[in-house]
Amino acid sequence: MTDSMTFKEEIKQGIPSELPPAKPYPENANRAPKRKDILTVEEKQLAVRNALRYFPKAWHQELATEFAQELKDFGRIYMYRFKPSYHLKARSVTDYPAKCQQAAAIMLMVDNNLDPAVAQHPEELITYGGNGAVFQNWAQYLLAMKYLSEMESDQTLHIYSGHPMGLFPSSEDAPRVVVTNGMMIPNYSKPDDWEKYNALGVTQYGQMTAGSFMYIGPQGIVHGTTITVMNAFRKVLNKGEKPQGKIFLTAGLGGMSGAQPKAGNIANCITVCAEVNANAATKRHQQGWVDELIDNMDELISRVKKAQANDEVVSIAYIGNIVNVWESFYEQDIYVHLGSDQTSLHNPWSGGYYPVDISYEESNRLIREEPEVFKEKVQASLKRHADAVNKHTARGTYFFDYGNAFLLEASRAGGDVMAENGIDFKYPSYVQDILGPMCFDYGFGPFRWVCASGKPEDLDKTDAIAAQVLKKIMQESPEEIQQQMQDNITWIEDAKQNKLVVGSQARILYADAQGRMEIANAFNDAIAAGEIGPVVLGRDHHDVSGTDSPFRETSNIYDGSRFTADMAIHNVIGDSFRGATWVSIHNGGGVGWGEVTNGGFGMLLDGSKAAERRLKSMLLFDVNNGIARRSWARNEEANFAIKREMARTPKLKVTLANLVEDDILNNLSL
């Protein structure tokens, strides 16, 4: 920010009127991997031409040379010269220049996703997952923020994969922003298509919540991870046996995966999490998300054995490769109760997964200069990784795929991960075994909110309101969801002491449609009474109804429809006309480009009657859209949940599946 301009003035300016000087990249920044050199000379010229269209003709000669160098150095044009000089963070909603409060709330969420304390690669506008971007370049950020500062309550900003297409007249009930990310013609949705078209500057990978401005740091997944780990231990331990001194072994600390050690602590076990990027591991340690850092295998083995002997609860980040840990623990007879993986294997060839026995620095060189060699080494590492896991599971380890495409990519690499039928994986997705039947089918998923005032005391008040609402609901809840209700009451009562906040004053809580609506309504009443400031509602796309993902969110759909994407599309369209403040639909997210379609929303509560009307309409649909689909797939728990909701909501009428006796089918001549 120049000395002569305030924060608000710089936002309202958008693309500056005078060309700012070039700036060096900061030293020791956690840089995004260099992308593949995939464009032809003619396509590189087109990429520069595309980038220059944001700027006046008088600047083109200077910027063309600079952008060409960025493309050469990074495989992308980030326009770093145009990064604003002010600190990117979630300010109070009142600090933003805006004509309507909804727009200011969206600006707050955008900045939160680019806060260096939150974002994985903030210089490249990447929030998490190695490639999950809010915008493709800094010009898009500047332009989007300018549009939001000018937006009135009857306009909608349409954003195409980070590019702000413009403000269009709409209505007060329409979403203020509509976001699409990576929406490709189906035959152009392979990994190299992303590399090519992202390098050209015409599409981007928004992950699940990065490109829809709803990422709240690793807290965003810590609750789901906690539930998963707790219930995984319930599957493998005897009744009454505690997780203390039992090992949960996994990998990944860069983005959402950074929640794993914190979740392990809450679940009261020993968590060992490998991470090849020392900067990422150190960042999580500094933030208090992992207890100890170790970069020596002998020291790790000694420390883990001591923790086992003393029945400790501790989280350990091992700076090194996960394959070495699996292999060394097997050789040392260290028994692993739970095993998984949360590296970014949705993005295996561009830094999402690093091969064993090659340094982090050398791997990054291979990604850029010898991509085929890097791919071969990743696949060889995946086979070795799978072999090591198989040895542990033969001893009794419970291994589950954490929805990061580990089993999918291991199978493509020739790893021994297939079941005897040659169709299914030998290990379950965590959705198949845990979150699907226990949470999603009943409508429980990652509801989240952000206190737009930025005040910690507002977050404390919302925690208390949510706990009070859940306790009241639990008194009349059926037995089928009592465990879920109690787990979530315990979670919200302990949330502050677990120090989950990074960036904005945000909270996540698994809740069903009734819980979400009643909590949101209580928030809106508190806002109207002046007890708290405005609140932004949202959720992870990893939820009941927002995401069609055959190897994760919808992996427990067995009627043949798990490769369809109707649910996610209906979700974002349905939310948009029922009152969402903004909506988003993405290709990719979680398990990879071309492998999943996911939709999200954001909603501002301002204490008004209009907000009350919108939250009741939208939240009811947002959850029950997914329960209805799961019920139609003959999921027993979802059938129970949708019948219960229809009894509670007379205007909800859902087509129910009639079950067929196996004998009828088995006696057919087919």
Task: Establish whether 275 is an annotated binding residue.
Answer: yes
Which residue type does 354 have? Y
> 78: which DSSP letter?
-
CB hemisphere CA count around 217 (13 angstroms) = 26
252 among annotated binding-site residues: no
Q: Is 224 annotated as a binding residue?
A: no
Tokens describing residue 527: 């806002």
197 is in an annotated binding site: no
Phi first, then psi: what are they for 535, rounded to 5°?
A: -130, 135
The reply to whether 162 sits in an annotated binding site is no
Nearest to 530 by CA among 607, 475, 613, 443: 607
In 3-state terms, the chain is what percent helix, strand and coil (to 5)? Answer: 45, 15, 40
- Residue pair 84/1 in contact (Cβ under 8 Å)? The answer is yes
Tell whether 129 is in a known binding site: yes
Q: How far apart are CA 585 and CA 212, in angstroms?
A: 8
CA–CA separation, 565 and 587 (whole Å)? 10
User: Are the C-beta atoms of residues 447 and 546 closer than 8 Å to each other?
Assistant: no
* Residue 527 DSSP one-character state: H
Nearest to 535 by CA among 448, 447, 446, 450: 450
Residues with Cβ < 8 Å from 98, sequence gap 6 or more? 104, 107, 148, 149, 151
Amino acid identity, position 542: H
CA distance 282 to 174: 43
Asked whether the beta carbons of 631 and 641 are under 8 A apart, the reply is: yes
Residue 403 identity: G
Binding-site residue numbers for NAD(+) are: 129-130, 207, 275, 402, 590
Binding-site residue numbers are: 129-130, 207, 275, 402, 590
